[in-house]
Amino acid sequence: MQNKKTQLSVSTDVLEKMAELATCEVEGVSGLSKKAIDLKDVVKAKSAFKGIKIESINGALSISVYICVKKDSNMREVAEAVQLNVKDKIQTMTGTAVTKVNVIVADIDIEDPVEATI
């Protein structure tokens, strides 16, 4: 009996979406930062900055997540929770090793939802 192996290939856009969903699940995260941090990458990719950057290095993933936190959140706790959740979700769903998850707090959401509607 032959040993048949299948290979999974996941596009970078899908990985970015997985990382976005895992990030937004964390309490204290207001969303992803929409600021273009590195103009070089935006021009190279020919698309707007999405708040997540994924690199594949020797078959393992290195992920950078640029987040906006809620004003009363503990940034360290939120960043650590994002790291754990993103790594766990992507490794579980794809079976691909995640070697690094960098979390950059790029913005703080100081707007109150009540005041924003007035």
Q: Both tokens of residue 79?
A: 């960043």
The structure's pTM equals: 0.77
User: Domain tally for the chain?
Assistant: 1
In a domain, 5, yes or no: no
SS3 content of the chain, % helix, strand, coil (to 5): 35, 30, 35
Structural domain contains residue 2: no
Whether 32 maps to a domain, the answer reads: yes
79-99 confidence digits (pLDDT tens): 999 999 999 999 999 999 999
46 occurs within a structural domain? yes
* Domain assignment present for 40: yes
Quote the domain boundaries for residue 111.
Answer: 12-116
35 Cβ neighbours under 8 A, 6+ residues apart: 49, 66, 106, 107
The answer on pLDDT for 43 being more than 80 is no
CATH of the domain at 104: 3.30.70.1350
Rounded distance, CA 112 to CA 101, Å?
Answer: 29
* 44: CB partners within 8 A, 6+ apart: none
Copy the structure tokens of residue 8: 């999974």
Q: Which residue has the higher pLDDT, 39 or 16?
A: 16
Please check whether residue 83 is in contact with residue 101, taking contact to mean a CB–CB distance below 8 angstroms: yes
